[in-house]
Amino acid sequence: MQIIVRDNNVDQALRALKKKLQREGVYREMKLRRHYEKPSEKRARERAAAIRRARKLERKRADRENAR
């Protein structure tokens, strides 16, 4: 990952870096790794996330169909 500092504006470069890290999911990963997560808890968390994604996708599809 690379951030270019223009005109010695470190604050702007830092904001851009934080935004990139957020988009990449680095902060979420750091939060998850603070404590040990049992494999069963990891599976349950990932399964719940997959269900949320599927429901969200289904809602978007339904909205698109209703808009037509």
**Predicted confidence (pLDDT) at residue 68 exceeds the cutoff of 80:** no
pLDDT at position 21 = 96
pLDDT at position 15 = 96
In three-state secondary structure terms, 68 is coil
Domain boundaries in the chain? 1-35, 38-68
pLDDT in tens, 22-41: 999 999 999 999 999 999 99
Q: What is the DSSP letter of 6?
A: -
